[in-house]
Chain A
C-alpha cells in the first residue's frame, strides 16, 4: 500500500514539475546575432523601394491615382450599379471584408485578400492568375459573381461622365467615340454572357482594340491608386529598431516577454520565416500548406490552374496592353510549372492580420489560434503535397506566445485618410457602409 502511494506521489510530482517548467517565468530572450540579422530583414527598414511598374505608364502619377480612387469607390462600376471595389475591399478592414468568401452580386470563389502592400508582389490573387495590379483590377469588374459588368458599358460610363472624361483624356488622350450604336453596342465583352459575347464578336477588330485599351487604362488608374496603399511601421518594427539600437538585450519595454519569445519561435522552431520572410512577411510565392477543402467545395487546385489562367490573360505582361516597349517579363517567362503547384497558394502577408480574419484562401481558419494549431499539427494535404508537413510540437504556452507575437505585426496603412474613402467629387455615390450592408440583406 505504501509502495503504491509513493509511486503515485512520484507520478503526480513529475506531472507538476513538467507543468511548472512549461509555465516558468521567462526573462527577455538573449538575442543571438543570427536572430538579429533575421529579424532586421523582416522590418520595413529593410524594405526595397517600391518596384516600378513599367507596364503601367501612369503607375506613379498622382492624378491617375485620384482617378483610380474615384473608380475604386464608384458602385456604378457594376452590372447593377450597386457594387464597387470597396464593397469587398473595405478600407476599415485593411481592404478585406471579414467573410469566408467575398460577397458581392454572388459569392466569390475565394477569400477577399487585402490590397495593402500588393504593389510589391509579382502576382495577384491567391492563385497568382494576374501579374500586375492593373490586370487584376479588371478581372472582378466582369466577373458575374462580383461586379457583373462588361467592358463596353464601363467605357460608356467613363465617356458619359464629364469628370471621368476630363481626367481620362488628361492622362491617356482621347476616349474612343462610342456614339455610333451600330459599331459600339451598349453591352459587350469577350467574357460576358452569351448576348454580350455575341455583341463583342460582332464588333470590328479595331473597335474592340480601342475599347480594350480604354478598359485597360481604367485598370491602370485603379492600380495607380492601389500602389499607394502601403504599410506603416508596426510595434514589431519599433521593437527591432530598439533591439538593434541598444544592446541586444531584448528588454526594450516595447514587447512583453511573451511577445519576444513568440518572435524567437517565429524565427526558429515554428519555421514561419521559411515562407513568411522579407519586410512584408511574405515571399509572394506559392505553397501548399494542407488546409482542408471548404465545406461543399472540391479541394482548390490553386496555382496550378492559376498559372494556366495567367498565361491566357490578354492583359498579362506579354500581352498587347503593356506600356513598356520590349518588356522583360521575367516572372512570367520563367514561371515554373509542375506538380508542386497543385493545391498551392500565395503566401499571405502577415502585416494585415488584425481584423482580417477569417484566414486562408477560403477563410477556412477563423482565428490566429486555429492557424497556429493547423501548422502545429501539420496534416497531410488533400491534394498535392503539404510543404509544411512537419508537426511543430509547440506546447500550449508556445502557441500563445506565437499568437501574441503575430499581433504585434499589425501595420497601419501609410496613406493618409483622404485616400481611404471616396474622393470628394463623388458625393452621390459615397454610401455609408451601414446602408450598404443593409441593402445587401434585402437581396
Chain B
C-alpha cells in the first residue's frame, strides 16, 4: 500500500516539477530562453499581448485573441543583415504542436491559408511583427531567411494556438493537496522521513568574511595621472584626463602615456577601448577612439564620457611591438 502511494505521490510531484524543455517546431525553450532556429541562425523569440497582458511574454500558445506582437531578437547578428519574411497560416496539417516544415510544405500553396504575411525585409536591430487575431484557433508561423550568399532560404516553423487557456494554477493546487496529505501521513507516524541535515554554518561564515574583505579593498578614485599595469605585465599606462576633474555628462578626452615594463615609451600602439558599469549591466555611452600619437608613447584618447556616478570599468586593449595585452581601469565616480 505504501509503495503504491509513494509511487503515485512521486508521479504527482514530478508532474509539478517537469523541466521546461520542450519544442514547438523550430521554437524551443532552453534554459528559460525561448529561441527560434532558422537554419543556422538563432534568435530569442517571444510573443506579447500588450493590450490585455501588458508585459507578459509568451513562447507558445497565446491565452487570448487581440493585438499580438511577435519579437525576434537576434542571437546571431547575421540575421540583421539578410531579408527575412514572416507568415502566419491557419493550421490545416492536423499535426498540432508536432507540425514540422515538411508538413507545411506538403500543404502546397499557402496563400489561401495565410492570415498574415510580411514580405522579406532587412531589419538591422530586431524583428517585430504585429497581427490582430480576431478569433481563436490553431496557427503555424513560418519565418524564412535568405542566407548571405544566396541559395535555398532557411525556414523556421512554429505551431501555436490562440485562445488556449492552459493549466493555470492547477498544478500548484495539486501540489498543495499532496503536501497536505504527506503532512497528515507524517503526523500520524505512517511515513518515515529522514531527518534533514542541518546546513553547515562554515560556508556561510567564510562567505561573510570574503564579502567584508572585498568591501574594504580600496578602489581607485577618478583617474588622474595614476598608472596601471597590463594584465600580462607588458605595459604600464598612465592617464591624464582633460579636464582633470572628469565629472559626468561631459564629452572629454584623455592623454594616455604608454610605457613598457622597463619604463620606455611605446610608440605606434593600437588601442581598443571598451567598458561599462558592471553593476548596471550597460556599456560605455560613447565609442572612444585613440585618434593620434602626440609624441612617442603619448596618445590622445577622444570621445570619453560617463553618464552616471558610480563604479565604471574600462578595458583598454593594446597592440604594439612588445605584444598584445589589456589593461583594466577601475574607476569610482562620485559627485563632486
Residues on A facing B (Cβ under 8 Å): 34, 37-38, 40-41, 122, 273-275, 277-278, 283-286, 290, 292-293, 295-299, 301, 304-305, 308, 330-331, 333-343, 379-380, 382-385, 387
**In the complex, chain A residues whose CB is within 8 Å of the CB of B336:** 37, 41
A336 touches B283 (CB 8 A): yes
A295 touches B51 (CB 8 A): yes
B310 touches A274 (CB 8 A): yes
Instruction: Determine which of A277, A293, A308 lies in contact with B48 in the assembled complex, contact meaning CB atoms within 8 Å.
Output: A293
Complexed CA–CA distance, A340 and B283 (Å): 8
A283 touches B125 (CB 8 A): no
Residue among B51, B73, B289 with the highest chain A CB neighbour number at 10 A? B73
Complexed CA–CA distance, A383 and B282 (Å): 15
Contact status of A292 and B55, CB under 8 A, knowing A301-B126, A304-B125: yes
Smallest distance from the beta carbon of B210 to chain A beta carbons, Å?
23
A298 touches B302 (CB 8 A): no
Q: Which residue of A lies closest to B289 (CB)?
A: A334
Interface size on B, residues (CB 8 A): 40
Smallest distance from the beta carbon of B283 to chain A beta carbons, Å?
6
B309 lies within 8 A of chain A by Cβ: yes
Contact status of A334 and B302, CB under 8 A, knowing A278-B249, A387-B280: yes
Smallest distance from the beta carbon of B81 to chain A beta carbons, Å?
14
Contact status of A336 and B50, CB under 8 A, knowing A330-B302, A382-B71: no
Contact status of A379 and B248, CB under 8 A, knowing A299-B128, A338-B283, A342-B125: no
Q: Which residue of B lies closest to A279 (CB)?
A: B249
Smallest distance from the beta carbon of B187 to chain A beta carbons, Å?
17
**In the complex, chain B residues whose CB is within 8 Å of the CB of A290:** 55
B64 lies within 8 A of chain A by Cβ: no
- 0 or 1 for each of B48-74: is its CB under 8 Å from A? (1 = yes): 101100110100000000010101010
A41 touches B335 (CB 8 A): yes
Instruction: Determine which of A277, A285, A305 lies in contact with B285 in the assembled complex, contact meaning CB atoms within 8 Å.
Output: A285
Smallest distance from the beta carbon of A283 to chain B beta carbons, Å?
4
Smallest distance from the beta carbon of B43 to chain A beta carbons, Å?
12
A277 touches B280 (CB 8 A): no
30 residue pairs of the A-B complex, CB under 8 angstroms, read A34-B335, A38-B309, A38-B335, A40-B335, A273-B309, A274-B308, A277-B249, A283-B248, A290-B55, A298-B69, A301-B125, A301-B126, A304-B125, A305-B125, A330-B251, A330-B302, A334-B251, A334-B287, A334-B288, A336-B283, A336-B287, A341-B125, A379-B55, A380-B57, A382-B48, A382-B55, A382-B69, A383-B125, A385-B281, A387-B280
New A-B pairs, 19, CB < 8 Å, besides A330-B303, A384-B126:
A40-B335, A274-B310, A275-B308, A277-B248, A277-B308, A278-B248, A295-B51, A298-B69, A298-B128, A301-B126, A308-B124, A335-B287, A336-B284, A337-B287, A342-B126, A379-B55, A382-B55, A383-B126, A387-B282
B307 lies within 8 A of chain A by Cβ: yes
Complexed CA–CA distance, A416 and B46 (Å): 52
Smallest distance from the beta carbon of B130 to chain A beta carbons, Å?
5
Complexed CA–CA distance, A339 and B124 (Å): 10
**In the complex, chain A residues whose CB is within 8 Å of the CB of B50:** 292-293, 295, 382
A284 touches B281 (CB 8 A): no
Complexed CA–CA distance, A32 and B277 (Å): 25
B128 touches A383 (CB 8 A): yes
Complexed CA–CA distance, A343 and B48 (Å): 16
B10 lies within 8 A of chain A by Cβ: no
Smallest distance from the beta carbon of B228 to chain A beta carbons, Å?
22
B183 lies within 8 A of chain A by Cβ: no
